[in-house]
């Protein structure tokens, strides 16, 4: 149910991974391979979850920038009040560094060459921070808008990010809602979400993939299942 390059999560999906260096400490090759493997683990889990709903999902092996040679940005976009930065600006800076001035042209080239149905990017940043997704809003809807999530090397409390975080952020790009305590999600909504979907990865992504699942509401949001009438009760503010 996304509006940009990440529509419904089914068929063949393509992940473009970018490893961005910033500051004086660069990614090591071991660290980059570890995060790439974490991304692959997240994809395998998503395939398994899709099958629970009778939906066929595959991930193309995908491409990457910054894995073999450094992709260094001298500056990162400013962090906003919510602790996040504008993902499209970060993606644009990274792609210009490797020679792509127009993300829409890259979008077209990847889909043409891979035969994938949908496309998203995962930007790994060699900094601590709060990982997040930047899905395309309906006000700027374009199937060629390259949707991105940003995964930091460590969380804001210093914990290494896990495959469950990557899966959570990818699901956001395809329309999934956050269902944890926030200014956009009331205590009443949180209590209902925990009662109805206690293991949903959009309720809690910190328990790891073994303990998580994709519940019926999230399955509806990403195109795997039909909507139930009461689901809008859990719609976050502004969604």
Give the domain CATH number at 35: 3.40.390
Is position 104 within any domain?
yes
Q: How far apart are CA 201 and CA 222, in angstroms?
A: 13
Counting Cβ atoms within 10 Å, is residue 50 exposed (0-12), middle (13-18) or buried (19+)?
Answer: buried
* Contact yes or no for 34/163 (Cβ under 8 A): no
Is position 232 within any domain?
no
Is position 226 within any domain?
no
Q: Is 134 helix (H, G, I), strand (E, B) or coil?
A: strand
Token pair, residue 166, equals 């990557």
The pLDDT assigned to 5 comes to: 80
Is position 37 within any domain?
yes
Token pair, residue 64, equals 């990457």
Domain range for 111: 11-177
Q: How far apart are CA 68 and CA 118, in angstroms?
A: 25
Mean pLDDT by 10 residues, the chain (239 residues): 77 96 86 96 98 98 92 82 73 93 93 94 90 71 82 81 95 94 93 97 93 97 96 94
Q: How far apart are CA 121 and CA 219, in angstroms?
A: 21
The pLDDT assigned to 7 comes to: 83
The pLDDT assigned to 6 comes to: 82
The pLDDT assigned to 138 comes to: 55
The pTM assigned to this predicted structure is 0.94
Is position 148 within any domain?
yes
User: Residues near 202 by Cβ (< 8 Å), separated by ≥ 6?
Assistant: 168, 171, 176, 177, 178, 179, 180, 215, 218
The pLDDT assigned to 134 comes to: 80
Is position 78 within any domain?
yes
In the chain, the number of structural domains is: 1
The pLDDT assigned to 137 comes to: 60
Is position 103 within any domain?
yes
Is position 235 within any domain?
no
Alpha-helix runs per DSSP H in 27-85: 29-52
């Amino acid at each position: 149910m996304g509006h940009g390059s990440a529509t419904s999560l089914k068929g063949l999906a393509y992940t473009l991974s970018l490893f961005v260096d910033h500051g004086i400490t660069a990614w090591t090759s071991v660290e980059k391979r570890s995060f790439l493997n974490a991304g692959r683990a997240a994809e395998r889990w998503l395939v398994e979850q899709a099958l629970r709903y009778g939906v066929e999902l595959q991930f193309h092996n995908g491409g990457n920038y910054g894995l073999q040679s450094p992709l260094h940005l001298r500056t990162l976009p400013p962090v906003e009040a919510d602790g996040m930065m504008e993902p499209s600006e970060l993606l644009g800076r990274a792609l210009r560094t490797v020679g792509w001035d127009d993300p829409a042209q890259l979008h077209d080239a990847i889909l043409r060459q891979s035969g994938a149905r949908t496309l998203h990017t995962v930007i790994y940043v060699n900094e601590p921070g709060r990982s997040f997704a930047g899905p395309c809003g309906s006000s700027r809807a374009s199937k060629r808008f390259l949707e991105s999530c940003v995964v930091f090397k460590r969380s804001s409390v210093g914990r290494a990010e896990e495959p469950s975080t990557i899966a959570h952020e990818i699901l956001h790009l395809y329309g999934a809602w956050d269902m944890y305590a926030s200014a956009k999600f009331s205590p009443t909504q949180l209590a209902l979400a925990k009662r109805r979907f206690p293991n949903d990865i959009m309720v809690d992504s910190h328990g790891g993939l073994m303990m998580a699942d994709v519940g019926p509401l999230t399955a509806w949001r990403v195109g795997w299942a039909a909507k139930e009438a009461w689901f809008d009760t859990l719609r976050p503010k502004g969604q």
